[in-house]
Amino acid sequence: SAVGRGPEVPFRSEAYRVSAIARGKELRLTLSALDSAADPPPQDLVFRFGMSGSFRLCPAAELPRHAHLRFLTRESPPRALCFVDPRRFGSWRLGDAWQPERGPCVVSEYQAFRENVLKNLDDRAFDKPICEVLLNQKYFNGIGNYLRAEILYRLKIPPFEKARTVLEALKDQEQERRKKDPSLTLSKKVKLMQENPDLLELCHTVPMEVITAQKQLLFPEHSDNYAAFKNWLQCYLVPGMSSLRDRSGRTIWFQVGAWGWQRPRKTPRKKSPQLKADPEAPPPKVTSRALKQRRRAAANPLKPEEEKKEEEADRPRKGRARGRRKVTAAPALPEPEVPLNIRRSRRTSARRGKGETGSP
């Protein structure tokens, strides 16, 4: 479209096929010409959906608003597969490369996803609350705002619990499970996961519930489908649940209760304890120099005039005079006495210099 912010797609073909593969929160489309000999090579596009991006198939004559990219069919009347993004947070880029900072997908790469989390628990990212870490796509690629609320609610995990505290317990449980029965088959592992799922397992199974029921949950154009999606939600946007904004500005939904997160109360600060003097402790030692200074001060008390001068010196001075020191004139030194004969010779020479003649 004319207002689309994405790059132009350099692919021209009269007949081509569109295929897709997803990885976490990214989707890769591949445009392949039906006549590979005459038409251009396949073209890959990687999409990010933001908060409001989606694909919609509709009649070409009834394009929805904010349809920024359109793929037209050859049927009559034609239809259009549109990338719709009202808020324009989504984007697409040319090429088949996934974003390098995104970790393994929670759905299609579950084992790699689980290992990536448990082996990196020393990362500073896990110092944050678990509700914030679940949105970190480096470790939880595919988990969004409503999924994190549903996962934490089902496991009764307080959303602002430290992430490392929650996940280290899973690491210990997994090690104990391997020690007890190292020969667990895949079917037994799946059965245990279904009976007692942990946080990482729910990060896989809860999105799978949405994908399995996508016809009802992911296409809310009709009121019946949207009602089915609302019935599936147990925490997110559910009346009676509480919500707060985390430090990244996203709203987290949770339940406040016996197991849920309690709002912290402001507790008054405790005053620092004052150290009391020990009556049995020995008195502090006084040096001989300090004793001499005390004796001098007792023997030579200040006179009233000197006390007054000291008080004036200690007072803060106003205006520009602040910080200046009072300069006192130095006392004049007495002139040295000159012998009489030297004084007479000076007078005689002074007269001669003026042209006067002295008496014989």
CATH of the domain at 48: 3.20.190.10
In a domain, 122, yes or no: yes
Query: What's residue 84's pLDDT?
Result: 94
Residues 82, 161 within the same domain? no
In a domain, 175, yes or no: yes
Residues 138, 245 within the same domain? yes
CATH code, domain carrying 174 = 1.10.8.50
The 10s digit of each residue's pLDDT in 9-30 is 989 888 899 999 999 999 999 9
Query: What's residue 196's pLDDT?
Result: 78
Say which residues have a Cβ less than 8 Å from residue 100's Cβ, sequence separation at least 6: none
Query: What's residue 227's pLDDT?
Result: 77
In a domain, 115, yes or no: yes
Residues 144, 33 within the same domain? no
Residues 121, 221 within the same domain? yes
Cα–Cα distance, 340 to 124 (Å, whole number) = 96
Residues 131, 78 within the same domain? no
Number of domains in the chain: 2
What are the contacts of 249-256 at 24+ separation with CB within 8 A? 250/135, 250/145, 251/145, 252/131, 252/145, 252/148, 252/149, 252/159, 253/149, 253/153, 254/131, 254/149, 254/152, 254/153, 254/158, 254/159, 255/153
Residues 88, 117 within the same domain? no
Element (H, E) at 54: strand 54-59
Token pair in block for residue 239: 């009346």
Token pair in block for residue 176: 């104990």
Residues 46, 84 within the same domain? yes
pTM of the model: 0.65
pLDDT band at 311 (very low <50, low <70, confident <90, very high): low
In the chain, the amino acid numbered 21 is I
In a domain, 7, yes or no: no
In a domain, 68, yes or no: yes
Cα–Cα distance, 115 to 62 (Å, whole number) = 47
In a domain, 260, yes or no: no
Residues 55, 125 within the same domain? no
The residue range of the domain holding 208 is 110-254
Token pair in block for residue 75: 């049927």
Query: What's residue 214's pLDDT?
Result: 67
On whether the CB atoms of residues 235 and 241 are closer than 8 A, the answer is yes
Q: Which residue has the tokens 């705002």?
A: 145
In a domain, 159, yes or no: yes
DSSP secondary structure letters along 66-114? TEEEEEE-SSSS-EEEEEE-SS---EEEESSPPPTT---BTTTTHHHHH
The 10s digit of each residue's pLDDT in 226-251 is 777 888 999 999 999 999 999 989 99
In a domain, 331, yes or no: no
Boundary of a domain, candidates 220, 238, 254: 254
Boundary of a domain, candidates 234, 254, 274: 254
Could you tell me whether strands 79-84 and 54-59 are parallel, antiparallel, or unpaired per DSSP bridges? antiparallel
CA distance to 153, 156, 254, 255, 323, per residue, from 259 (Å): 10, 6, 11, 8, 64
Residues 145, 226 within the same domain? yes
Boundary of a domain, candidates 69, 94, 119: 94
Residues 53, 126 within the same domain? no
3-state SS, residue 126: helix
Q: Which residue has the tokens 């919500």?
A: 243
Average pLDDT over residues 289-308: 67
Residues 116, 241 within the same domain? yes
Residues 63, 148 within the same domain? no
The 10s digit of each residue's pLDDT in 147-170 is 999 999 999 999 999 999 999 988
